[in-house]
């Protein structure tokens, strides 16, 4: 039995997230069915990041076990020939049998895109959150610094989270601006349920002037989800990369 690793990119618009579930089609389900037909085996793929419904990915990581004799690097091409256009395998290789994408230390990078202008742009409607109110990017950048480091992120976590601990480490958080597009780039050792989308919603409130950048500290210390910003729509969120240490 061999373990094959895949680098997976996808447009999450038409999917109910990564993880297989009864109420709609998912990335995991499509990959399981596609690879099972290719190898003639019952495949159960394991993903590194179980992204939510509507979230996109450039480089998610997944593995599956197979007895197929195909060269490891050829799996990407063979699987892509059978996938829908909104899912693509960027790379495939063979790893040790015990290598697990969720049990190895890693750094995850996500982006959240905010289109900040008076009128929406139709071509961005599936990949960025539209914000009509003028945002102060300098204040958002100042606020972003308070998130960096190891903290208890209870205030920035959905109540549905099943994590054993609310403590996470954020290595960097940047707020970039290119004309009307604001991009929040966040790198960390892992994220709680909806954590990035709540952080983005909180930064937007700072940008709107609802409260000052330093208020992030008070929200964090309170450990109260109700004090942070709203959970922003999934469409603005993209998993960019997973770097294994």
Which residues 6+ apart lie within 8 Å of 183 measured at CB?
111, 112, 113, 114, 175, 176, 177
Q: List the one residue out of 41, 87, 90 whose CA is nearest residue 64.
A: 41
The H or E element containing residue 222 is: helix 215-222
Distance between the two ends of the chain, CA-based, in angstroms? 25
Distance CA 108, CA 102 (A): 11
Just list the catalytic residues.
52
Tokens of 157: 């976590």
Which residues 6+ apart lie within 8 Å of 123 measured at CB?
none
CA 237-130-225 angle, 5° bins:
60
Tokens of 230: 């709203």
Is 110 annotated as ligand-binding? yes
Residue 129 · residue 117 · CB < 8 Å: no
The H or E element containing residue 200 is: helix 195-208
Residue 225 · residue 166 · CB < 8 Å: no
Length of the chain: 245
Alpha-helix runs per DSSP H in 112-194: 137-144
Annotated binding site: which residue ranges?
Answer: 110
Q: Which residues are part of a known binding site for substrate?
A: 110
């Amino acid at each position: 039995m061999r373990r094959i690793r895949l680098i997976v990119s996808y447009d999450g618009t038409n999917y109910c997230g990564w993880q297989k579930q009864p109420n709609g089609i998912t990335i995991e389900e499509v990959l399981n069915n596609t690879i099972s037909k290719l190898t003639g085996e019952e495949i159960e793929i394991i993903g590194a990041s179980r992204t939510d419904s509507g979230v996109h990915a450039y480089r998610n990581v997944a593995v599956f076990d197979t007895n197929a004799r195909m060269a490891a690097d050829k799996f990407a091409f063979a699987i892509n020939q059978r996938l829908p256009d909104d899912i693509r395998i960027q790379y495939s290789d063979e790893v040790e049998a015990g290598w697990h994408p969720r049990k190895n230390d890693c750094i995850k990078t996500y982006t959240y895109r905010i289109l900040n202008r008076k009128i929406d742009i139709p071509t961005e409607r599936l990949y960025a959150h539209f914000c009509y109110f003028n945002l102060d990017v300098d204040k958002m950048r100042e606020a972003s610094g308070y998130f960096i480091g190891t903290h208890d992120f209870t205030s920035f976590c959905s109540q549905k989270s099943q994590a054993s601990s609310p403590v996470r480490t954020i290595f960097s958080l940047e707020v970039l601006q290119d004309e009307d597009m604001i991009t929040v780039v966040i790198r960390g050792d892992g994220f709680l349920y909806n954590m990035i989308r709540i952080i983005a919603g909180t930064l937007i409130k700072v940008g709107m002037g609802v409260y000052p950048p330093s208020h992030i500290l008070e929200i964090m210390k309170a450990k109260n989800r109700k004090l942070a910003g709203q959970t922003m729509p999934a469409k603005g969120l993209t998993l960019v990369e997973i770097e294994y240490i």
